[in-house]
Amino acid sequence: MNRRRVELLLISLLVAVTFGASLLLARDARSGRLPSAVRSLWPGGSPAASPEAVSCVRDPAGLPPPPNGPDGRPSNYLHTCGAKIYDARGREVKITGLNWSGMETSDAAPGGLGNRNWRDVLDQIAALGYNTIRIPFSSEAIDSGQPIGGVNDALNPDLAGLNGLQMLDRIVEGARERGLKVILDRHQPSAAGRTPLWYTSETPESRWIADWRMLAARYRGNDTVIGVDLDNEPHGPATWGTGDPATDWRLAAERAGNAVLAANPYLLVFVEGIENNGTDHYWWGGNLAAAGSAPVQLRVPNRVVYSPHDYGPYVSDQPWFHDPTFPRNLPAVWDHHWGYLAEKNIAPVVVGEFGGWSFGNDADGKWQRALLAYLRGHDVGFLIWSLNPTWDTGGILNGDWQTVNLRKQTEYHPLLAAPLDDGPTGTFGLAPNGVTVFVSTDRNGTPPGTVALSFRVLNDSPVSLDLSRIEVRYWFRTGSAGIPSTSISASADGMPGGSIQAVIVPTRLGGQDHYLRVRFSPGAGTIERYRETGTITVSFPKPAAAAYPPSSDYSFVGPPATPTGDGYEESNHVTAYLDGHLSWGREP
């Protein structure tokens, strides 16, 4: 077997493993349940909430619920709390994605679309395990009359004739289908290139802010777009905290950030650094040394994410690469310029750009390996530059725009965090039809001598489900006495009488004696997508108390660890089945 075939085989195996893990994740991603096999693939995945994080579970901004997404499911926007980012359900999440550049160029479209179909690119990004795409664009690219270029219409017939904004709508829609999130990045005013400040005489600040206001409103209610990176790499005359409206990037970020949040208050606002903080010189967009003492303050709290850029000596030589202790000096360099923001719990940090060819013992390789260790050790998110193979840093893809740079993917993959969401189709966010059960047992008001099981079934899938396809099982403890089915009563809010069939079924599964089986008649109705049933209650007389403490049942649910106000919680010891196949929970 030649070297090329070996590389292709290894790439196929890596993608296959990631794809398999994504299928496991799909059922569990929305509630943060990650199988152990998947945790090993996404080491930055879904940690248990720490006591200090309890106050961060709900968005501290106290906003009204956002509108539902385009497919009708509840929105899953993100918010910050200290140095962490949380989703709408209170899960701590981490952004680990990549840049897909090209829309900032004269083509006004992401790169590679002359070589392949845009959906295929999104599938590959998802299969490789990245959870977010940063899309650089220019102000020129989102002019309504700006046509896209560099696109093979035969491979992308649905992009033919579109302008940049219409093409961006397609990319956002495709990302949503795959469970990917999107950050929009105003990379430069025009295809001519980056400028030191966020405005030019041809593209004044008023145009910059108007563009952001338009984009924020355009995607309001579409939580695929989770954030905006206000301006790419302020440098040169850009200052921080000086109070000069012409150069103070901090003040400009507040002006634009407030305009964005006035149009869509649920977005994250990514703020890059500057180049020079007094005599302290650093990367364009990388110097956030003054942000701790002069933070960006927006009218909607808990929305700012600081996003420095960092590169190695291959991109540009710098004094810190010649320190006699290099690369051991690098953590202190990062601490000073941006790492302290996360370390001191001031605000989240997501490195918006970094990348390079080497992971070896040359200077660039030492820099990149040190940075990866720092990101892992400080639990910092990142967006790799870039998917595209056409940059001086190289890309995740090789020059054919098809195959994966195996060395890069192997190095980056262990740092990838869990998905931020799922989607109705596609590789990464494939969401098969499934249900979630919320349970409460022996609630207050249950008559003495009676066991009462109350539950609601959530349809956590993109299509409506007929209740007659669903079965719920409550598992009793080993050795408990049998209960005659004739003594069971069942009722449900919003269902016709006689809709529920509850019986006791003998079993030896897991050493259990029997379980309570709850089924629904064909006339019970349907659960619409991303909606749940009313309360379903099943009760029966307790056996002799000495022989049957219900708290010993495998499926018994005690008081919830994190009260939700209604006494119900997700319980994976109460199982649910769809068309006879286990869809929720874990059997004894």
Q: What residues are annotated to the active site?
A: 233, 353
211: which DSSP letter?
H
**What would the two tokens of residue 344 be?**
């001191």
For the chain, the residue count is 588
- Rounded to whole angstroms, how far apart are CA atoms 107 and 233? 21
Q: Which residues pair with 528 in a beta bridge?
A: none
**What would the two tokens of residue 476 be?**
């009793």
**Secondary element (H or E) of residue 470:** strand 470-475
- Rounded to whole angstroms, how far apart are CA atoms 87 and 222? 14
Residue 567 CB neighbours (<10 A): 16
Q: Which residue has the tokens 């000086």?
A: 242
Bond before 552 cis per omega within 30 degrees: no
Query: Is 45 in a helix, a strand, or coil?
Result: coil
- Contact indicator for 294, 241 with CB cutoff of 8 Å: yes
- Look at residues 71, 64, 76 and name the one whose alpha carbon lies nearest to residue 29: 76
Residue 542 CB neighbours (<10 A): 17
- Rounded to whole angstroms, how far apart are CA atoms 191 and 108? 8
Helix axes 164-177, 118-128, angle to 10 degrees: 40
Q: Which amino acid is at 54?
A: V
HEC string of 125-150? HHHHCCCEEEEEEECHHHCCCCECCC
DSSP conformation letters of 399-462 = TTSSSB-HHHHHHHGGG----S--BSSSSSSB--S-EEEEEEES-TTPPTTEEEEEEEEEE-SS
